[in-house]
């Protein structure tokens, strides 16, 4: 039993929840340029757009102290809007 606890502790020590930072894609607010925001630092700005092959892209930005936007989260999902 004590070996199981040691194994679990070693396995969890090798895990990391941080990956590479998300990269802007065409349609992102910061794709190919530096975007500034009039909102106060720390404000979260959401952006949603229809991306490649009809997939919906959801992004979250945080306003930095100098007013620039930093991309913190990016998710892609199928677009279920029916016309």
pLDDT given at position 67? 94
Q: Token digits for 29?
A: 């607010």
Q: Is 44 within 8 Å of 61 (Cβ atoms)?
A: yes
Q: What is the pLDDT of residues 42-81, one digit of tens each?
A: 999 999 999 878 889 999 999 999 999 999 999 988 877 5
The reported pTM is 0.70
pLDDT given at position 51? 83
Contacts 24+ apart (CB under 8 A), 50-53: 50/79, 51/25, 51/26, 51/27, 51/76, 52/25, 52/26
Q: How far is CA 12 from CA 4, 5, 15, 19, 64, in A?
A: 12, 11, 5, 16, 32
Going by pLDDT thresholds of 50, 70 and 90, the confidence category of residue 41 is: very high
Which strands make up the sheet holding 44-50, listed edge to edge? 44-50, 55-63, 69-78
Is 15's pLDDT higher than 80? Answer: no
């Amino acid at each position: 039993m004590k070996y199981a606890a040691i194994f679990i502790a070693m396995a969890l020590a090798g895990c990391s929840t941080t990956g590479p930072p998300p990269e802007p894609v065409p349609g992102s607010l910061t794709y190919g340029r530096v975007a500034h925001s009039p909102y106060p630092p720390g404000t979260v700005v959401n952006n949603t757009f229809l991306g490649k092959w009809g997939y919906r892209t959801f992004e979250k930005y945080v306003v930095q102290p100098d007013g620039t936007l930093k991309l913190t989260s990016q998710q892609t999902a199928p677009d279920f809007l029916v016309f």
